Amino acid sequence: MGLAYDSTNWPTTSLSALSIAEMTGIPRQTVRRKLVALEHTGMIASEPDGAFRLVDRPAELDIVNEIDGYFRRLSLS
């Protein structure tokens, strides 16, 4: 099973740490720490209201797709 990231369907909704905590049952402070760590990697960004959102399309995803495609081609040969 390959990884596929379609930028046309990239989520644009922002969520607060509290809403993620309520949806997942993970303590809010734990969610907040993880979100801040993800923000430092450039995968997500914080909004002025304190919510978080995925960045438009992290460059890392292009690399993941390239590596996935490479291994798919190897498996077909």
Note the pLDDT tens digit of each residue in 15-45.
999 999 999 999 999 999 999 998 988 878 9
Total-model pTM? 0.61
The whole-number pLDDT of residue 29 equals: 96
Question: Following DSSP, what letter does each residue of 10-70 receive, concatenated?
Answer: -----B-HHHHHHHH---HHHHHHHHHHHHHHTSEEE-TTS-EEE-S--HHHHHHHHHHHH
The whole-number pLDDT of residue 69 equals: 72
Class assignment of domain 13-76? mainly alpha
The closest alpha carbon to 18, from 7, 26, 9, 6, belongs to 26
User: What are the domain boundaries of the chain?
Assistant: 13-76
